[in-house]
Amino acid sequence: MTIQNSAAAGSTVLVVGGGMAGLAGALAMRSNGAQVTLLEQAPEFGEVGAGLQLAPNATRILRRWGLLDKVVNVGVKPRNIVFRDAVTGEELTRQVLDGEFEERYGAPYVVVHRSDLHRVLLEACREAGVELINDVRVEAVETGTAEAGAAVGRVRSAAGREFTADAVLAADGLKSTLRASVSGDSPIGSAYVAYRGTVPITKDTPAADLEDVIVYLGPDCHLVQYPLRKGELLNTVAVFKSPSFARGEEQYGGVDELEEAYGDCVPQVKAALANLGKNIRWPMYDREPITGWVNGRAVLIGDAAHPMLQYLAQGACQALEDAAALQDITAAHVFRDGGADNTAWDAALAEFAKARTPRTARVQRTARVWGESWHVSGVGQVLRNLLFKARRGSDFHYTDWLYGKEAASGAAQGAAQEARREDATAA
């Protein structure tokens, strides 16, 4: 990644949160030449969870940053995404992921362990010169004025420490503390929970489907499997409607709900439940889309801005899109001609939110609808299966809006071009 001359650029950026969105945002701002400090509340950097799917709208960005090869080297490029009925086992549809798919979208589909992608981004931030500070729990952010009279974002920690910068990226996740400064909403429980697990692939692992992402769709449940780490691990995720979560219990003392949810499924689905870790489950939340991501010199990114259900596998992908869009827009507004303009941050953050909110809102809403279609039963199940089976393998109608080059980058590029036109007119 090429980094502009930081001495010339001179802007400072604070990033709150050391997850995928925070690291990507820090890397993007550092690439524009800003002095970047990232604050993470955990004592050490790390990422929990298991597998992660990166569609071409995300891997194009990793390629742009010079990181795609590193991610592919620790991940897997699956050959297909295959949907099956969990009750009958019949194949409903498949998407071939190489050949025409990769050519159309300009980048591969990659599955990777969350911790591996996190490590790649963390190492890139370190190499780029991002200042990384752990053990800082941020409680509030506000806009103030520096001694020189310029506007700044001011962050206050629980321990009373104060940090200031020209701009603050709030990447503190689903339960974001900083989101409260722009919205009084709360996370919305979906009634569904996920159990996850990774196990080594051995000679006894069933050979079928080890090159694919397999999704079994059942009434009020689904199960996903795919290989990780160059085919050394098998990743399994089981998602089902949980009566205890619907009652407000985030965790549950047994696995009877899990076993009951998949009671009518084919044997290979039931057998896959043995691969799951049973000691913790992940309740699934999202929030309603909002447009007001900006509070003075602070802006929400990633799950802090647009937490979404997992059915489109776009949470991390949209966080990377946020970072790339912010990189482009601030390059046009703030870091013009190799310098930095403190007064342009306000316009840049406003343009970023304008560019990104319609797209992320569509992804959030579509993920909800997509999940509902996965979990139907009875007549709904019959109709869904007919619709899936009617899809042709060369039909990109359902993915162009999400993976396409123009769809992913058009709004941000348009905002950046508009900023350049305004500059030219003013000159």
Examine the fold and report which residue of 286, 304, 321 is the final residue of a domain before the chain moves on. Answer: 286
Query: Considering only CA atoms, which of 106, 42, 385, 78 is closest in space to residue 225?
Result: 78
Query: Which of these three, 223, 251, 286, is where a domain ends?
Result: 286
Same domain, 194 and 217: yes
424 confidence band (pLDDT: 50, 70, 90): very low
Residue 407 pLDDT: 77
pLDDT at 194 (0 to 100): 95
Question: What pLDDT shows up at residue 301?
Answer: 98
Do both 136 and 168 map to the same domain? yes
Closest CA to 420 of 331, 323, 358: 331
pTM of the complete model: 0.93
The DSSP secondary structure of 319-371, one letter per residue, reads HHHHHHHHHHHHHHHTSGGG---GGGHHHHHHHHHHHHHHHHHHHHHHHHHHH
In this model, does residue 323 exceed pLDDT 50? yes
For 273, the domain range is 188-286
Tell me, yes or no, whether 176 and 65 share the same domain. Answer: yes
Q: What is the pLDDT of residues 209-218, one digit of tens each?
A: 789 999 999 9
Per residue in 137-174, pLDDT (tens digit) is: 999 998 888 777 788 899 999 999 999 999 999 999 99
29 has pLDDT over 70: yes
Is 262 considered catalytic here? Answer: no
Residue 80 maps to a domain: no
pLDDT confidence of 426, banded at 50, 70, 90?
Answer: very low
Q: How many domains does the chain have?
A: 2
Q: Is the pLDDT of residue 186 over 90?
A: yes
In a domain, 95, yes or no: no
The CATH number assigned to the domain holding 139 equals 3.50.50.60
Residue 139 and residue 275 share a domain: no
pLDDT digits (tens, 9 = 90+) for 272-294: 999 999 988 999 999 999 999 99
Does residue 196 share a domain with residue 153? Answer: no
Nearest to 217 by CA among 343, 120, 87, 328: 87
**Cα angle value 372/395/103 (rounded, 5°):** 115
Do residues 369 and 258 share a domain? no
Report the mean per-residue pLDDT for the chain.
91
d(CA 371, CA 374): 5
Determine which one of 105, 216, 226, 285 is catalytic.
226
Residue 156's beta-bridge partner residues? 140, 162
Clarify whether residues 213 and 270 are in a common domain.
yes
